[in-house]
Amino acid sequence: MATQISDHLEPWHNLNGKVVLVTGASAGLGKEFCLDLASAGCKIVAAARRVDRLKSLCEEINRMTVVGDGDGSPRAVAVELDITADGVTVDNCVQNAWDAFGHIDVLINNAGIRGAVKSPVDLTEEDWHKEFRTNLTGTWLVSKYVCKRMQLALQKGIVINISSIAGLNRGSLPGSASYSASKAGVNSLTKVIFFYLQLILTHWSSGV
């Protein structure tokens, strides 16, 4: 039986029909973002490296009944997106995400990792580059290619980057040199993208 969703959810009651791309959508915060935003009436492009892990999520969303959405078309689509891939690959994946509903209103850069817990002197170059490739470079690449398409479409949009308190000056997380530095980079990247593009951008710092 389909779940009936209220149209009085606060503060999400005015999001009906907005298209949201969520990276790292197969589990954790990413999955919850997809479910909550779908409940608010958004159309979801769920992205992750493993598309098979997104199948049940999209099926659950597509069973939802949202007041005011009666066209019967799918409201969630799964797209393969490995944010650690090269720029050309990420660009192609973003194009697939864009084509799913013809545009993207909101990007949530949620994909990220907490890697090796080691002191700064014990970290390897591989440890360092792995976290930066995922947390910072991947976030930049996805933002770059989504924002380019928004510009070409003469469309305003929203980019939300999921960061961490470890990336703030007050953050102190033992064994997190590369993680903290990469998340501090995400915070700075968010401000710079806003400066150049004047989109609505924000970063949200989770507890870890």
Within-domain flag for 84: yes
Can you read off the two tokens belonging to residue 173?
Answer: 């997380």
In tens, the pLDDT along 38-64 reads 999 999 999 999 999 999 999 999 998
Give the list of residues 6+ apart from residue 7 with CB closer than 8 angstroms, or none.
13, 16, 41, 66, 67, 68
173 found inside a domain:
yes
Q: Which residues are catalytic?
A: 179
Domain-located, residue 5: no
Count of CA atoms in the C-beta half-sphere (13 A) of 26:
16
In the chain, how many domains are there?
A: 1
Q: Which one has a higher pLDDT value, 2 or 168? A: 168
In the prediction, which pLDDT does 164 show? 79
Q: Which whole number is the average pLDDT over 94-113?
A: 97
What six digits make up the tokens of 56?
């049940």
Find the angle CA(113)-CA(129)-CA(81) to the nearest 5 degrees: 50
161 lies in which domain range? Answer: 14-206
pTM given for the model: 0.85
Question: Is 93 part of a structural domain of the chain?
Answer: yes
* Domain CATH number, residue 176: 3.40.50.720
Question: What's the rounded mean pLDDT across residues 124-148?
Answer: 95
Residues 160-170: pLDDT tens digits?
Answer: 999 877 757 65
β-sheet bridge partners, residue 48? 80
